[in-house]
Amino acid sequence: QKEVEQNSGPLSVPEGAIASLNCTYSDRGSQSFFWYRQYSGKSPELIMFIYSNGDKEDGRFTAQLNKASQYVSLLIRDSQPSDSATYLCAVNTVRDDKIIFGKGTRLHILP
């Protein structure tokens, strides 16, 4: 089992709709969870981080964490064409104190 798994996509969502991105992880001891956005040819940009079970909202973005089921998700409300990018999920591993990145989900917002 891969340490951090994401659906590679592409995920196509109409403009104005909610985009839902999911990520599962294997280390039950993981405590820190991050979402990065990466535009083509650019470096990853941190957009959300969450440490506790439940939801965390920041503007149009909501991160949801469910430690019992070992998944974390990112919701993007009122999706805009500028949200089209690859979204990377990252999780810390307690075993060796590293941040492991998923391979990312490509999101395409349809105008």
Partner 1 sequence: KAGVTQTPRYLIKTRGQQVTLSCSPISGHRSVSWYQQTPGQGLQFLFEYFSETQRNKGNFPGRFSGRQFSNSRSEMNVSTLELGDSALYLCASSLKGGSSYEQYFGPGTRLTVT
The residues binding partner 1 (CB under 8 A) are 31-32, 34, 36, 42-46, 49, 51, 88, 92-93, 96-104
Nearer Cβ to partner 1 (10/14): 10
Query: Rounded to the nearest whole angstrom, what is the least distance from the CB of residue 27 to partner 1 in the complex?
Result: 11
Q: How large is the C-alpha radius of gyration of the chain?
A: 13
Identity of the residue, 41 or 111, whose beta carbon is nearer to partner 1 in the bound complex: 41
In angstroms, what is the minimal distance from the CB of 80 to partner 1?
22
Query: Is the Cβ of residue 104 or residue 109 nearer to partner 1 in the bound state?
Result: 104
Cβ contacts of 71 within 8 Å, gap of 6 or more:
22, 23, 24, 25
With a CB cutoff of 8 Å and minimum separation 6, the contacts of 60 are 76, 77, 78
Minimal distance in Å, beta carbon 84 to partner 1? Answer: 18
Helices (H) and strands (E) in the chain, counts: 0, 11
